[in-house]
Amino acid sequence: MIVLGIESSCDETACGIVRDGKELLANAVFSSMDLHVQYGGVEDAKLGWDDIDGIAVTYGAGLGMCLLAGVMTARTLAIAKDKPLYGINHVEGHVYANFLTSTSLPGYVLPETAPAFPCLALIVSGTHSQLVVFRDHFDYTLLGQAQDDAIGEAFDKVARMIGLPYPGGPSISRKAPEGNPQTFTLPKAKMPGKYDFSFSGVKTAVLRHAQAMCGKDFTFSSWLLPEALNDAQKADIAAVFQRVAIETVVDKTIHAYEEFQPDSVVIAGGVASSPELRRQLRERLPIEINYTDPKLCTDNGAMIAALGCYKMMHNQPTADPYSLEIDPNLSM
Ligand code: KG4
Ligand code: ZN
């Protein structure tokens, strides 16, 4: 069974093709940021519409206008090509990137086996920070989530504050090794829900530290910081922020692991490509994680296609191609 996945919830427009929920056949991302198309295997896949058994599309959560573009495309294709249509929750889709275990596409390193259930998923992206326990496909409980900024958003904002280019996560990842992660400390938010997250406080704390580092008070504009800070100071800020932000999500993942004793742990979403996150989890989790390729952690169509395959294989309800609506605020 082969499913085409379409993803357009945010900056990227992407599509992917997956066989049986596990074999990656194609993955193409068009990024509005650099107007650059990165193809993986689309030309080589040599698939025609006859080969495609279903179409899966992200219908939420995300930016309305972006979601609409993908959903209208998928609806049109489903009608024109007479294929079953599946509406996919973007955040749930991220988790399914971890179920891809084989490909003949060059440049991908995939885990050898799919995650075992029950599975604890840490979903960390530019819009989400969540811990979810999957007892089985389509049978999951949300343990907690971001109450304000998501972790990736905090990476993006701190990067901008110190003058590093967007997207901030990869920029901070590259800068942090030049700095000392112990130069100062930052507060970790205490939340009423033990698996909930908050990243707006740490961002403000970084701002106050950065202002103090250049001998200024809280009235000093954050726009002037990139010029006022020297390179070593920027590297220290990147290193400390990255350590504390990642520690915050790792602390809660370890607690959830101890409480729920899952058979596997997966990480998903753009921040899952962070080498520091992978390092801290390796150090503190008693079991090993089978990490997927970083190219499948950030938004992509293959993860949507993978979940579409599982929906098809498990006889989940299809969407009506004449009426599937977007849901910008969809939650898990
Ligand atoms: O999943 P994603 O592509 O889009 C959303 O659904 O939000 O995640 C994008 C986020 C951005 O905030 C980006 O800064 C972050 O993932 N990110 C990282 C890294 N690579 C991407 N954050 C920390 N370290 C990284 N290496
Ligand atoms: Zn995403």
Residue nearest atom 19 of ligand 1, based on CA coordinates? 169
pLDDT digits (tens, 9 = 90+) for 158-212: 999 999 999 999 999 999 999 999 999 999 989 999 999 999 999 999 999 999 9
What is d(CA 16, CA 6) in angstroms, rounded to the nearest whole number? 7
Helix extents (H) in the chain: 64-81, 90-96, 151-161, 168-175, 200-213, 225-228, 231-260, 275-284, 301-313
- pLDDT tens column, 290-332: 999 999 999 999 999 999 999 999 999 999 999 999 999 999 8
Model pLDDT for residues 199-218, shown as the tens digit of each residue: 999 999 999 999 999 999 99
The closest-lying atom of ligand 1 relative to the alpha carbon of residue 62 is 6
Query: What was the pLDDT predicted at 49?
Result: 95
- 10-19, 83-92, 242-251: least confidently modelled range: 10-19
Pocket of ligand 1 (CB under 6 A): 10, 125-127, 152-153, 155-156, 167-170, 173, 269-271, 273-274, 298-299
Pocket test residue of 29, 155, 157, 241 for ligand 1, highest count of atoms within 8 A of CB: 155
Mean pLDDT of 54-64: 97
Tell me what percent of the chain is helix, strand and coil, each rounded to the nearest 5. Answer: 40, 20, 40
Interaxial angle between packed helices 200-213 and 231-260, expressed in degrees from 0 to 180 and rounded to the nearest 10: 160
pLDDT band at 30 (very low <50, low <70, confident <90, very high): confident
Taking the centre of ligand 2 as the mean of its atom positions, its distance from the CA of residue 243, in whole angstroms, is 22
N- to C-terminal Cα distance for the chain?
26
Per-residue model confidence (pLDDT) at position 36:
47
Residue 20 identity (one-letter amino acid): D
Q: Where are the alpha helices (DSSP H) in 82-199?
A: 90-96, 151-161, 168-175
Report the pLDDT value the prediction gives residue 46, as an integer from 0 to 100: 78
Closest ligand to C-alpha of residue 156 is 1
Q: What is the mean pLDDT of residues 10-25?
A: 94
The rounded distance, in Å, linking the Cα atoms of 91 and 124 is: 9
Q: How far apart are the C-alpha atoms of 218 and 232, rounded to whole Å? A: 21
Mean pLDDT, all residues of the chain: 95
**Residue 278 near residue 293, CB atoms below 8 Å:** no
* pTM summary value: 0.94
Please report the pLDDT score of residue 40 as a whole number: 53
How far apart are alpha carbons 163 and 177 in whole angstroms?
17
For residue 41, pLDDT over 70 is answered with: no
Ligand nearest to the CA of 167: 1
What confidence score (pLDDT) does residue 289 get? 94
pLDDT of residue 271: 98
CA of 298 to the centre of ligand 1 (A): 6
High-pLDDT (> 90) share of the chain, %: 92
**Cis peptide bond N-terminal to 118, omega within 30:** yes
Q: Tell me which of 90, 125, 277 to substitute to probe ligand 1's pocket, judged by most ligand atoms within 8 Å of the beta carbon.
A: 125
Q: Which pLDDT score is estimated for 193?
A: 95
What span, in angstroms and rounded, lies between the C-alpha atoms of 21 and 305?
7
pLDDT tens-digit series, residues 221-277: 999 999 999 999 999 999 999 999 999 999 999 999 999 999 999 999 999 999 999
Alpha carbons 124 and 261: distance in angstroms, whole number: 21
Residue 74 Cα, ligand 1 centroid: separation in angstroms?
A: 25
- Is the pLDDT at 38 greater than 60? The verdict is no
